[in-house]
Structure 1
Amino acid sequence: MARLIALALTGLLLAAAPAAAADPDACATVRMSDPGWTDITSTNGILGTLLEPLGYTQKVETLAPPVTFESLKNSQIDVFLGNWMPAQSRFIEPLTAEKAIEVIRPNLDGIRFTLAVPAYVAEAGVKDFADLAKHADQFGRRIYGIGPGAPANQNIQKMIDAGDFGLDGWTLVESSEQGMLSQVDRAVRRKEWIAFLAWEPHPMNSQFQIAYLSGGDAYFGPNYGRATVYTVTRRDLSKNCPNLARLLSQLTFTVDMENQIMGILGEGSDGKAAAAQYLKAHPDLLSGWLAGVTTRDGQDGLAAVRAALNQG
């Protein structure tokens, strides 16, 4: 009897004891980058919505891609969900060779990223990179890109400098994503000609009728710049923050998911609010993402996130 009582007391004590911390305090703040891209605002919003009820604090900085990768190398940020490949190969390959960062996993596949024109321009005969120079005056000898320093902009500038496709003398117009799309919107409303960077997932694919150009394989990859997006982290994050790393290793997205969240963003929500709205309507996603993941103090992570979303 005494042995049974002792065992029962031991069980009660163990049940009352706090769970072991899943990750140390050094992992509590998750520093991330957003280059100002709507798709990354969306995926950062998803991760932030998961991190907060798990006991982490998300801190997002607006950093251009070159600064993002340098910050990962120097351990000034922890996670980047926007490593577009092969467009960012020149940034990522030296860092992986040096083992200066960790590539966790692909988080989005089956996307396109190359030059595009409005559908009415394609119908007029511009369907390939080689068609641009034939209509140089109508395009104003301009190609509209995104923020300065973006790898895609660098590819366009290389193409112009090399005179490929007869584009010598053309100008790359660098701007923010929103600035570029404002130019597209203005051109479409006036039925003017414009060539610009386009990609999916992005609301531009439903906002405008656009046509992706063929022929840019040497600069954007085959199949209209078919791309894969990877999650990358600072060196040793998996070793030092195993619970966070487990979540990152299970976190994947789809084109449709990101398009829907970006649509909510377009209605005026911020990244976390848009992600929370989407996840409340798609709670089935949580079990796969959070399998085996705990809160930072060792409690059930899935239950914590579900409770937080239901309270929202």
Structure 2
Amino acid sequence: MKILTSTGAALLLSALALPALADDASSCGTVRFSDPGWTDITATNGVAAVLLTALGYTPDIPTLSVPVGYEALKNGQTDVFLGNWLPAQQSFRDDLDAHGSIVELVQNLEGAKFTLAVNKAGADAGVADFADLDAQRDAFDGKIYGIEPGAPANQSIQAMIEADEFGLGDWELVESGEQAMLAQVSRSGSSPVVFLAWAPHPMNEAIEITYLSGGDAQFGPDFGGATVHTLAREEWVEACPNAAKLFSQLIFDVPMENVLMGRILDDGMDPQDAAKEWIAENPDRVQGWLDGVSTLDGEPGAEAVLAAVEK
């Protein structure tokens, strides 16, 4: 069986839209979804956690690297994942497809992008395309700064280096977490630096970024234009239709995520506190997310969420 599309998952959820909340209460009280350590997913996970808590569920959000997180979903150790970036993570989707136990609940974000970029000093050095990098190797110290080990984007960079594409065969990929990478960019000052950059992310406001053209083969067209998808175990969707319906309707946008991520990264807010504040400021979004969703004990969901965030 192949991974269901968002339409297929919606049909499944529709078929399961029965008064089965008693089963939800006994078997679905804890909802497990992983965090790969990326602030955008931390932000959306924070929103999901606030909503679930207000509905009477208990969110369980372990921090797992991208490869480990996909294995956890495939092996039934987690229930949902809100961070399936496509096309960057297509290989993981292909693996889940072959496994045949995962459904796509919804495309939760459009307008994202993810590719290599340079800081202002790099742009001032004349780098605007992947093909411009090697001529400025010494200025960049021959290093490309990536994110956590095992991330698909890092694998794409390493494959590019090993194939000596764009003359980058003697360059080095520096793997680290998101925050360590951005700290390196901040420390660079007037020195050129090339690194992974993406939107949504407050880095786009804090750093003068030039996204590099020419990386279509490595990251996809339109500067690594991407969509983000929510995946879930089919067995969980069948057993927990109320919680699954929430996730199938939980759709975000780039401006929203930029705000949430800025509050987390720049203001030091707890992700759930940031989410609760944003939801209180934007109560109109709750109705769409909670349409037809109840609390775990069968009460109207939207009213419960709005009451919780106003406290």
TM-score, normalised on structure 2?
A: 0.91
Listed one character per residue, the Cα deviations across residues 50-100 of structure 1 (whole Å, up to 9, x for unaligned) are: 000111000111100100010001010111111000000111112123313
Instruction: Please give the alpha-carbon distance, in whole angstroms, between the structure 2 residues aligned to 1:252 and 1:96.
Output: 23
Aligned in 2, Cα 1:118/1:20: closer, same or farther, shift over 3 Å? closer
Aligned in 2, Cα 1:166/1:297: closer, same or farther, shift over 3 Å? same
Give the structure 1 partner of residue 294 of structure 2.
294
Q: CA deviation at 1:33?
A: 0.8
Paired residue total: 291
Alpha-carbon contact 1:22-1:296 (below 8 Å) kept: no
Find out whether 1:164 has 2:142 as its counterpart.
Answer: no
Q: CA deviation at 1:20?
A: 5.2
Amino acid at match of 1:217: D
Give the structure 2 partner of residue 102 of structure 1.
103
Give the structure 2 partner of residue 277 of structure 1.
277
Give the structure 1 partner of residue 79 of structure 2.
78
Give the structure 2 partner of residue 177 of structure 1.
178
Find out whether 1:129 has 2:121 as its counterpart.
Answer: no
Give the structure 2 partner of residue 237 of structure 1.
236
Instruction: Please give the alpha-carbon distance, in whole angstroms, between the structure 1 residues aligned to 2:238 and 2:94.
Output: 21
Stretch moving more, 137-146 or 100-109: 100-109
Give the structure 2 partner of residue 41 of structure 1.
42
SS at match of 2:138: helix
TM-score, normalised on structure 1?
A: 0.91
Give the structure 1 partner of residue 227 of structure 2.
228
Consecutive unaligned residues of structure 1, counting only runs of 5 or more, are 1-18
Q: CA deviation at 1:229?
A: 0.4
Alpha-carbon contact 1:117-1:194 (below 8 Å) kept: yes
Give the structure 1 partner of residue 121 of structure 2.
120
SS at match of 1:23: helix
Give the structure 2 partner of residue 15 of structure 1.
none
Amino acid at match of 1:41: T
Alpha-carbon contact 2:101-2:234 (below 8 Å) kept: yes
Listed one character per residue, the Cα deviations across residues 178-216 of structure 1 (whole Å, up to 9, x for unaligned) are: 0000000001x2x00110000001010001101000000
Instruction: Please give the alpha-carbon distance, in whole angstroms, between the structure 1 residues aligned to 2:40 and 2:150.
Output: 18
SS at match of 1:61: coil
Instruction: Please give the alpha-carbon distance, in whole angstroms, between the structure 1 residues aligned to 2:212 and 2:21.
Output: 54
Alpha-carbon contact 2:21-2:242 (below 8 Å) kept: no
Give the structure 2 partner of residue 251 of structure 1.
250
Instruction: Please give the alpha-carbon distance, in whole angstroms, between the structure 1 residues aligned to 2:278 and 2:270.
Output: 12
Q: CA deviation at 1:223?
A: 0.6
Q: CA deviation at 1:237?
A: 1.9
Amino acid at match of 2:149: P
SS at match of 1:127: coil
Find out whether 1:154 has 2:155 as its counterpart.
Answer: yes
Larger radius of gyration: 1
Instruction: Please give the alpha-carbon distance, in whole angstroms, between the structure 1 residues aligned to 2:71 and 2:185.
Output: 32
Aligned in 2, Cα 1:20/1:193: closer, same or farther, shift over 3 Å? closer
Aligned in 2, Cα 1:251/1:109: closer, same or farther, shift over 3 Å? same
Instruction: Please give the alpha-carbon distance, in whole angstroms, between the structure 2 residues aligned to 1:86 and 1:208.
Output: 25
Q: How well do the aligned residues superpose, as a CA RMSD in angstroms? A: 1.2
Instruction: Please give the alpha-carbon distance, in whole angstroms, between the structure 2 residues aligned to 1:20 and 1:127.
Output: 55
Instruction: Please give the alpha-carbon distance, in whole angstroms, between the structure 2 residues aligned to 1:68 and 1:217.
Output: 26
Instruction: Please give the alpha-carbon distance, in whole angstroms, between the structure 2 residues aligned to 1:247 and 1:227.
Output: 23
Instruction: Please give the alpha-carbon distance, in whole angstroms, between the structure 2 residues aligned to 1:118 and 1:163.
Output: 23
Alpha-carbon contact 1:22-1:294 (below 8 Å) kept: no
Amino acid at match of 2:32: R
Q: Percent identity?
A: 54
Find out whether 1:261 has 2:255 as its counterpart.
Answer: no
Alpha-carbon contact 1:125-1:131 (below 8 Å) kept: yes
Alpha-carbon contact 2:23-2:239 (below 8 Å) kept: no
